[in-house]
Amino acid sequence: MRILVAALLILLPLSAQAEQFSLRCDDGDFKPLLFTFDTKANKAIYESPVREDPLPGTITRTLGRSLLFSVQGIGQDFTDFVWNDGASEMQIGLRGTPFQRTFRCAAIPLRPVTAFFETLWPKR
């Protein structure tokens, strides 16, 4: 019984950490794309290399740590983003076209933008 309780105490912090995580997606010679997620709140933050302010997003579907999400403020031409955790890839496409880009990504330490999870979205 003590072993079970000890195992639960060790695993609880890990499961809490899994609710928020950040990714760095490399774009060749350009600055990387940065994403931070809160899977419990279904929120995402996109730090674009061409914008000073982070953009809020909404997670619409999840399967483990893979997810589908949209980002507000990019423009109506962009479609949902797809994070494929198993392949470590982020896919981004344009609505109504066959255009799609895929970026290799890696987990990074949780970004300081997590404070924005409470400020970028309107209170309900």
Q: What would the mean pLDDT of 45-71 be, rounded to a whole number?
A: 89
Residue 60's domain comprises 16-118
Q: Are 35 and 88 in contact (CB under 8 A)?
A: no
Is the residue at 61 inside a domain? yes
| Phi, psi values for residue 22, rounded to 5° | -120, 150
- pLDDT band of residue 79 (cuts 50, 70, 90) is low
Q: What is the CATH number of the domain that holds 37?
A: 2.40.160
Is the residue at 70 inside a domain? yes
Is the residue at 40 inside a domain? yes
Q: What is the CA radius of gyration of the chain?
A: 16
Number of domains observed in the structure of the chain:
1
Looking at residue 9, what is its pLDDT?
34
Is residue 115 predicted with pLDDT exceeding 60? Answer: yes
Task: Please state whether the predicted TM-score (pTM) of the whole model is above 0.85.
Answer: no
Q: Are 107 and 90 in contact (CB under 8 A)?
A: no
Tell me how far apart the alpha carbons of residues 40 and 122 are, in angstroms, rounded to a whole number. Answer: 17
Is the residue at 5 inside a domain? no
Is the residue at 2 inside a domain? no
